[in-house]
A and B are shown apart, each in its own frame.
Chain A
């Protein structure tokens, strides 16, 4: 009997809720909340950095030919890459192939965008954990420094702090515009 009355109570509550609320109104409020939530995360991140948010990566759709092809050594983001392109190895220009781990420790340089002419900060994170990929070997060295300046050298295996130091391939992630000092 007790469960019967509980079922009745649930049913009555559900019916009352359905009568007195608007599903469309709920969806509208949910949509507004989601949109608002999408805008908010920018704020604390910008505050944490203590700077204005960096300009994001430009749209590659406007590029033609190899300069816009993430599987090409001539892709604009690859101006300083030395290794196998993750985009040819089962990953993308910004994500590592399955089964590999992206190194957080990384070598960072800049590449000039061929259309807007701005210098963008590019992080060349190595993908680690498998043997050499062997496809799409690229060796472009703009901004590369000798190995005795290790923080600025792309000849180094940057699989540091990862589960294994086995190098597989490399991604090229845009970290924003390199704003010149005024």
Chain B
């Protein structure tokens, strides 16, 4: 494992490369499904559920921005446009029934600006956003 850590350091320039673009459902499988699982159920206490949970963020101030700034989203090795499409697909796929009527898909420009603002304390931000909304799952 230590040997591989060295390889990891050497491989840093590769970060700038963006992988081949796939359809959003494939991008979900490649970048999200490993932890959030195919049905978006996650692992209680470890990986937040997406299913029936995401749209809550769109109903509170700052929530839309939060979804694009969480580490797994902001740091995904995808272009701004591919990430915007993936986020939109994920919202519709896992919480489409409760999307606010005024929801509009993310744009590449919006994603570009949001992913440049990392969250210093993800858990605290999440908790503050969801206070007063439905119970956190």
Say if the beta carbon of A57 comes within 8 Å of chain B.
Answer: no
The answer to whether A146 touches B11 (Cβ under 8 A) is yes
Main secondary structure of the interface of A (DSSP, over half): loop
| Chain A minimum-CB-distance residue to B44 | A161
How distant is A103 from chain B, measured CB to nearest CB, in Å? 10
Q: How many residues of A contact B (CB 8 A)?
A: 31
Say if the beta carbon of B58 comes within 8 Å of chain A.
Answer: no
Given the known A-B contacts A145-B77, A146-B11, are A106 and B34 also in contact in the complex, defined by CB atoms under 8 Å?
yes
Say if the beta carbon of B31 comes within 8 Å of chain A.
Answer: yes
How distant is B69 from chain A, measured CB to nearest CB, in Å? 16
Given the known A-B contacts A50-B93, A181-B21, are A121 and B30 also in contact in the complex, defined by CB atoms under 8 Å?
yes
The answer to whether B21 touches A107 (Cβ under 8 A) is no
Interface residues on B, range: 35 or more
**Segment from B1-9, B60-68, B114-122, B129-137 that makes contact with A:** B1-9
Q: Mark A130-165, 1 if CB is under 8 A from B, else 0.
A: 000000000000010111110110010010110000
The answer to whether A175 touches B29 (Cβ under 8 A) is yes
Say if the beta carbon of A25 comes within 8 Å of chain B.
Answer: no
The answer to whether A181 touches B22 (Cβ under 8 A) is yes
From B14, B20, B22, B85, name the one whose CB has the most chain A CB atoms within 10 angstroms: B22
Say if the beta carbon of B100 comes within 8 Å of chain A.
Answer: no
Say if the beta carbon of B37 comes within 8 Å of chain A.
Answer: yes
From B20, B25, B26, B38, name the one whose CB has the most chain A CB atoms within 10 angstroms: B26
| Chain A minimum-CB-distance residue to B30 | A108
The answer to whether A49 touches B47 (Cβ under 8 A) is no
Given the known A-B contacts A105-B34, A105-B35, A148-B8, are A179 and B43 also in contact in the complex, defined by CB atoms under 8 Å?
no
Main secondary structure of the interface of B (DSSP, over half): helix
From A105, A179, A180, name the one whose CB has the most chain B CB atoms within 10 angstroms: A105
Say if the beta carbon of A51 comes within 8 Å of chain B.
Answer: yes
How distant is B87 from chain A, measured CB to nearest CB, in Å? 15
Bound: A149/B23 CA distance, A: 22
The answer to whether B26 touches A179 (Cβ under 8 A) is yes
Q: CB < 8 Å: which of B1, B15, B22 contacts A179? A: B22
Say if the beta carbon of B59 comes within 8 Å of chain A.
Answer: no
- Chain A residue numbers with a CB within 8 Å of B19 are 143
Q: Mark A29-71, 1 if CB is under 8 A from B, else 0.
A: 0000000000000000000111100000000000000000000
The answer to whether A105 touches B43 (Cβ under 8 A) is yes
How distant is B79 from chain A, measured CB to nearest CB, in Å? 10
Say if the beta carbon of B104 comes within 8 Å of chain A.
Answer: no
- Chain A residue numbers with a CB within 8 Å of B26 are 121, 178-179
The answer to whether A50 touches B25 (Cβ under 8 A) is yes
> Could you write out 7 A-B pairs with CB less than 8 Å apart?
A105-B35, A145-B14, A146-B8, A160-B43, A175-B29, A178-B22, A179-B22
Which positions in A face B, CB cutoff 8 Å?
48-51, 104-110, 119, 121, 123, 143, 145-149, 151-152, 155, 158, 160-161, 175, 178-181
Shortest 4 CB-CB contacts between residues of A and residues of B: A146-B8, A181-B21, A179-B23, A161-B43
